[in-house]
Amino acid sequence: MVNLKYAMVQSINTKALLTLASVIRRPYLAAPHLHVPTISDVNYQSMKDHCGIKAIMFDKDNTLTAPYATEIHEKAALGLQNAIDVFGLDNVAILSNSAGTKDDEDYEDAIQIESELGINVIRHNDKKPGGLKEVLQHFEDNGVDNPSELCMVGDRLLTDIVFGNLYGMLTVHCLPLCSGSENISDNKVAKFVRTVENKYMFRSLPGKWTRARTIPHAVWEGEDKCPLILVHINSDNELWKNNDEREEEDDNNQTQLASGQS
């Protein structure tokens, strides 16, 4: 079920705006350690065994679910179950900039998501890239003593990846799950910003330069020495070509919808 009641307020992320100055000075804050098509393409067992990771957090919209939906997306279902099997239910959680925030009245959506997905939604006042205090409090009884023992997974560079890199976490960037009619309810501001992030901060020549200077993780020595991606795409170009086609489909659907309403 799609819930649109906080779709607009989610666009306002003052923490991300304030952090933008830091990213301009240090663009490598937005460079993830890993980039995968979906969360189902990650080797969580190797992450736990060889990278010192004790707990993992997922963004929600377009990482686990369709935008503002509360049920797991079919492309993410295997990945979420694998993460739970490896880390245990108490060490897997959602850190969202919608559910679990002050925009989520009485945490109704967080409660519904927890019921449907079976994992905790971390309550936090500051949106990513803020919220570290609440994250550490959430995992403090599970043996997490340092942010470097956490992994942050999401589709947004300026929120999910910057948040993780600011505090030394392992960071995993994934493509948005949905396209076409599935993505019709996505927040327009978030979709625009994500497109700009991916095209100019990740895929452009400056983006590639930045990715080559990703902040090292305290334990993980890199994909060459400790592979964490289950199946490697032949090239970034192939991966992004598919994403471009999906984004073009989204734009066409939005145009058709607007024409139908006029």
- Considering only residues 103 and 205, tell me which one the structure prediction assigns the higher pLDDT: 103
**Helical segments of 118-155, H only:** 132-139
pLDDT the model gives residue 233: 62
Tell me, what DSSP letter sits at residue 215?
A: P
Q: Please state whether beta strands 34-36 and 150-154 pair in parallel, antiparallel, or not at all (unpaired).
A: unpaired
CA distance 29 to 98: 22
Quick one: pLDDT at residue 8? Answer: 46
pLDDT one-digit tens code per residue, 228-262: 999 876 555 555 555 555 555 555 555 454 455 55
**Cβ atoms within 10 Å of 237's Cβ, excluding its own:** 10
Sheet containing 92-94: give its strands across. Answer: 34-36, 170-174, 150-154, 55-58, 92-94, 120-121
Say what the pLDDT of residue 260 is: 56
Q: Kindly state the tokens that stand for 84.
A: 């739970």
Asked if residues 236 and 242 have their Cβ atoms less than 8 Å apart, the reply is no
Asked if 60 and 149 touch (Cβ cutoff 8 Å), the reply is no
What integer is the mean pLDDT of 10-31? 73
Task: Specify the pLDDT at position 249.
Answer: 55
pTM of model > 0.85: no
Cα separation, 241 vs 46, whole angstroms: 29
- Chain-wide mean pLDDT for the chain? 84
SS3 breakdown of the chain: % helix, strand, coil, rounded to 5? 50, 10, 35
What's the rounded Cα separation, in Å, for the pair 228 and 41? 9
Q: How many CB atoms lie within 10 A of CB 33?
A: 24
What distance in Å separates the CA atoms of residue 142 and residue 135, rounded to the nearest whole number? 12
164: Cβ contacts below 8 Å, ≥ 6 apart: 32, 150, 151, 152, 170, 171
238 compared with 9, residue with greater pLDDT: 238
- Residue 13 tokens read as 């992320």
Tokens of 39: 């969360």
For 30-77, how does the pLDDT look when each residue is reduced to its tens digit (9 = 90+)?
A: 999 999 999 999 999 999 999 999 999 999 999 999 988 899 999 999
Tell me the two tokens of residue 4. 């649109």
pLDDT in tens, 91-149: 999 999 989 999 999 999 999 999 999 999 999 999 999 999 999 999 999 999 999 99
Compare 252 and 181 and report the one with higher pLDDT: 181
Can you list the positions of beta strands (E) in the chain? 34-36, 55-58, 92-94, 120-121, 150-154, 170-174
